[in-house]
Structure 1
Amino acid sequence: MIQVKMFDYEHEKDLENGMNYFLGQIREDQIVDIKYEIAAFGEEDEENQIYCFSAMVIYRK
């Protein structure tokens, strides 16, 4: 059966740590694909930008 695991963090190091932990729990041959995306957004009157680091692991259970 094909499953997905979603990850969504504000910092790339948190994403890396979360994914590495999960990937350490499954076998390498179970991994089908990994999708990765970065989104950045903020409002015009604010100086701060918000980042969203997301990934999806598609794997066989």
Structure 2
Amino acid sequence: MIKVKLFDQEHEKDLEVAMNRFLEKVEEQKLVDIKYNIAAMQEEDEEQIYCFSAMVIYRA
């Protein structure tokens, strides 16, 4: 069975930590793919907001 695990963090280091914790539990041969995305947005008179996200596709 193919499964996915989604991650979404405001800081890239938080995403890295969360993904590494999850990947420690997944056997390497069961890993299918990892998709990564960055989104940035800025509201009027606000600081820029980043969203770092990833999807891990693996066999269960």
Give the TM-score range, shorter chain: over 0.9
* Runs ≥4 residues deviating over 6 A: none
Shift of 1:56: 0.1
Alignment-derived partner of residue 8 in structure 1: 8
In the alignment, does 2:33 pair up with 1:41? Answer: no
Gaps of 5+ in 2: none
Alignment-derived partner of residue 51 in structure 1: 50
Greater strand share, 1 or 2? 2
**Root mean square deviation of aligned Cα:** 0.7
Residues paired across the two proteins, number: 60
Alignment-derived partner of residue 60 in structure 1: 59
Gaps of 5+ in 1: none
What is the TM-score normalised by the length of structure 2? 0.96
